[in-house]
Structure 1
Amino acid sequence: MMVGLIIVSCNKTTETPATQDVAFKASTATISDFKASTCDNPAPSYALIEIDGAIMQVGIFNLDGQILTNTLKLAPGTHTISMFVLKNDNNTPGVTSDDIEVLATPLTGANYANFVSHSLPFNFTVDAFMKTEVNIDVLCFEAADITNFGFAWFAIDKITVRELCFFGDFCTADYMTYAGTLYAQQANGLRHDMPAIFKVEVYKNNNFVVSYNNESWLGEGAPLCVQYPDFDGTVDNFSFKLYVKVLVGTSFEYKLFHTFTTVDGGQLNYGTDGVLDFVIGDCVPDADLVLPSYLNI
Structure 2
Amino acid sequence: MKNLKIYYACIAIVAMLFTSCTQEESTPRAGEDGDVASISLGAVLSDLDRQGLLKQAIPECSEDAPAYARIVLTHDLGAVDVVIPINFDGTTFFTDYDDELEIPIPAGETTTSVSLTDFWVYAEEPGETTMPIWVAPKEGSDYENFVNDALPLNFELRAGSKKYVDVEVLCFDDRDVNLYGYQFFDLIPVPLIKFCLFGNFCPSEDGRHYVAGYSVTVWEGDAPEGDPIYTDVTNDVSMDEGTGDYYSDPLCFFLPDTEGTDTYYFEISIASTDEYEADNAGEVILEGSITDDEIKLFYNEETGAMDYYHFSYGCGDDNPPPFTDPNDTVERYKACLKEIGDSDAFGFSYLSLIGNEFTAQTWVPFMEPNATTPQHIHENASCDDAGGVVWPLDLEGGGYPVSDGSGSLFYSRTWTLTAAQIATLGNLENRTINLHEDAEGLPVISCGEYDSY
TM class, shorter-chain normalised? Answer: 0.3 to 0.5
State the TM-score, normalized to the length of structure 2: 0.23
Q: Which has the higher contact order (CA 8 A, sep 6+)?
A: 1
State the TM-score, normalized to the length of structure 1: 0.35
Q: Which structure shows the higher strand fraction?
A: 1
